[in-house]
């Protein structure tokens, strides 16, 4: 063990011990509140953005539960409100500001209400300045790099009469050992790395999540073994770019190697991952996916644009032709693979011909689903300063034209599932009815069917009877296990 590793372990132990002390203090305060008023304090976490943010909220949830808070879904019932923010698109920021305005009225009537804002938005200095200036009733502000310090920051907030702000500019070491209250027992998120080194010209993530840091494989595998022993059936391996996993490790292990090791863990039924960057995906990884019985035949591979000139301006570091070759190889090795993507419309300098290149790529790939976005200018990114910004009217016109082609294509693909028997992992009740259940196929199609609640968590086979626009409905055939 190196000297740096020894110091790292000691610092983690010190952090966890310090956290315990702050958690115990807050729990004593909350217990005293309960004894005096016969009412437990309640907290709510509102999460915006990606699975990484959802996983961070699971860590905050665990800390809050240890502090003696009950969780609630209503602002009016909460003694502590946390907004875990996203800054990938402007619309997400508008939602946060809107909710802050709503909560202001609660703060005016309940002086003991604590309001905290954390996450990616807070890693931008101009946002923190605006919070300090316009939202002085926010009690606590912290970022993505110091989420582990939440207990000490909350204690400081409870003891002080001023706004507490702690946002680290740079990422620290990977912190192991933080408790996590997972929102679903059947499925679990597992971080395998943090940060991003790609610096796409439109993206703020490397500035808010920091540079790439990979977790050690032994720590990841131990976490997943424990999850499997506790009954988790599916894990989602998370990273801003999982395909570059391992580059910061002393002992070289790449993502394909890690995937093979996770596949060997007993008790797991399924393995998924996201997100994959097309420039780093390898044939080795696709070969491992095809050969691994637990790795689902599903690939979310964001293309962002179908034009080589736009891809170059985006700093994506691959061409349209390279992307299409990856898709071809994946389908050769896994004929049933589900492929989804992200597309940005109206990137600065995108011409009509560039847009048509994207339309042609959609026709060539025939995605199972695509998440489409209007380009959103992000302060601090190169694209925000590019000339030839596309007008909002043109962006909306292009996305309308694209969806007129994309949606019928997806509906047609779904129609081919009629009368097929598919394998599902049953996840929960359907959103529309507690008399129906929902699950996902290995290639990530959502399926609803009528079934009893005890099937949740089981693998079942279902015959598709009714393809819908964006989902499938079927009837139970058999319980697999």
Q: What is the DSSP letter of 347?
A: -
How many CB atoms lie under 10 A from the CB of residue 261? Answer: 14
**Residues whose CB falls within 8 Å of the CB of residue 247, separated by 6 or more in sequence, listed in order:** 212, 214
- Equal fold, 188-296 vs 297-415: yes
Distances in Å between the Cα of 433 and the Cα atoms of 167, 208, 471, 472 are 43, 39, 15, 15
> What's the CATH superfamily of 3-166?
Methylthiotransferase, N-terminal domain (3.40.50.12160)
How many CB atoms lie under 10 A from the CB of residue 162? Answer: 9
Contact indicator for 53, 88 with CB cutoff of 8 Å? no
Residue 316, burial from CB neighbour count under 10 angstroms (0-12, 13-18, 19+): buried
Quick one: tokens of 165?
């702000």
Distances in Å between the Cα of 215 and the Cα atoms of 168, 173, 209 are 20, 10, 15
- The CATH fold assigned to 188-296 is Transcription Regulator spoIIAA (3.30.750)
What pLDDT tens digit does each residue of the chain (481 aa) get?
Answer: 333 333 344 455 666 567 889 999 999 999 999 999 999 999 999 999 888 899 999 999 999 999 999 999 999 999 999 999 998 888 888 999 999 998 999 999 998 999 999 999 999 999 999 999 999 999 999 999 899 999 999 999 999 989 999 999 876 666 676 778 876 789 999 999 999 999 999 998 888 888 899 999 999 999 999 999 999 999 999 999 999 999 999 888 999 999 999 999 999 999 999 999 999 999 999 999 999 999 999 999 999 999 999 999 999 999 999 999 999 999 999 999 999 999 999 999 999 999 999 999 999 999 999 999 999 999 889 999 998 999 999 999 999 999 999 999 999 999 999 999 999 999 999 988 888 999 999 999 999 999 999 999 999 999 999 998 788 999 999 999 9
Q: What is the DSSP letter of 424?
A: E
The CATH code that applies to domain 297-415 is 3.30.750.200
Quick one: tokens of 477?
């055939």
pTM for the full predicted model: 0.87
pLDDT of amino acid 189:
93
Q: What is the DSSP letter of 382?
A: G
Quick one: tokens of 364?
């060539």
**How many whole angstroms separate alpha carbon 250 and alpha carbon 113?**
46
pLDDT of amino acid 213:
92
- Domain residue limits, the chain: 3-166, 188-296, 297-415, 421-479
**How many whole angstroms separate alpha carbon 329 and alpha carbon 458?**
32
Query: For 108, left (φ over 0), alpha (ψ -120 to 50), or beta?
Result: alpha
> What's the CATH superfamily of 421-479?
Nucleic acid-binding proteins (2.40.50.140)
pLDDT of amino acid 134:
94
Query: Strand, coil or helix: what is 29?
Result: helix
**How many whole angstroms separate alpha carbon 19 and alpha carbon 79?**
21
Per the listing, tokens 């693979």 go with 337
**How many whole angstroms separate alpha carbon 398 and alpha carbon 194?**
34
pLDDT of amino acid 10:
45
């Amino acid at each position: 063990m190196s000297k740096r590793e020894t110091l790292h372990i000691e610092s983690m132990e010190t952090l966890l011990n310090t956290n315990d002390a702050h958690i115990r203090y807050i729990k004593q305060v909350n217990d005293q509140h309960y004894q005096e008023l016969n009412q437990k304090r309640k907290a709510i976490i509102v999460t915006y953005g990606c699975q990484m943010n959802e996983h961070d909220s699971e860590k905050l949830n665990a800390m809050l539960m240890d502090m003696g808070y009950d969780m609630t879904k209503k602002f009016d019932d909460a003694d502590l409100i946390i907004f875990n923010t996203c800054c990938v698109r402007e619309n997400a920021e508008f939602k946060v500001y809107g909710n802050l305005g709503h909560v202001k009225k609660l703060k005016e009537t309940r002086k003991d209400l604590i309001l905290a804002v954390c996450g990616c938005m807070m890693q931008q200095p101009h946002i923190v300045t605006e919070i300090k200036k316009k939202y002085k009733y926010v009690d606590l502000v912290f970022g993505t790099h110091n989420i582990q310090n939440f207990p000490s920051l909350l204690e400081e907030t409870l003891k002080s009469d001023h706004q507490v702000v702690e946002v680290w500019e740079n990422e620290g070491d990977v912190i192991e050992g933080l408790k996590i209250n997972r929102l679903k027992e059947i499925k679990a998120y597992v971080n395998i790395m943090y940060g991003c080194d790609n610096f796409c010209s439109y993206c703020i993530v490397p500035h808010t999540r920091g540079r790439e840091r990979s977790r050690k494989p032994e720590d990841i595998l131990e976490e997943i073994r424990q999850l499997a022993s506790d009954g988790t059936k599916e894990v989602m391996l998370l990273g801003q770019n999982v395909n570059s996993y391992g580059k910061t490790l002393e002992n070289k292990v790449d993502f394909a190697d890690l995937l093979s090791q996770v596949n060997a863990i007993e008790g797991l039924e399924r393995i998924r991952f996201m997100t994959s960057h097309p420039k780093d995906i390898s044939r080795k990884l696709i070969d491992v996916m095809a050969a691994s019985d637990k790795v689902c035949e599903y690939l979310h591979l964001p293309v962002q644009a179908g034009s080589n000139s736009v891809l170059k301006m985006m700093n994506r570091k691959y061409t349209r032709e390279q992307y299409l070759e990856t898709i071809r190889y994946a389908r050769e090795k896994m004929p049933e693979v589900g492929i989804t993507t992200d597309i940005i419309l109206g990137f600065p300098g995108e011409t009509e011909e560039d847009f048509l290149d994207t339309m042609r790529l959609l026709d060539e790939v025939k995605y199972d689903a695509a998440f489409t976005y209007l380009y959103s200018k992000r302060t601090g990114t190169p694209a925000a300063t590019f000339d030839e910004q596309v007008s909002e009217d043109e962006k909306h016109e292009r996305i309308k034209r694209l969806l007129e082609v994309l949606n019928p294509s997806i509906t047609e693909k779904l129609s081919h599932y009629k009368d097929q028997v598919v394998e599902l992992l049953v996840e929960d009740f359907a959103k529309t009815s507690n008399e129906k259940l929902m699950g996902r196929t290995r290639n990530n199609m959502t399926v609803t069917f009528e079934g009893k609640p005890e099937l949740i968590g089981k693998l079942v086979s279902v015959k598709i009877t009714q393809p819908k626009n964006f989902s499938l409905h079927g009837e139970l055939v058999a319980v697999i296990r």
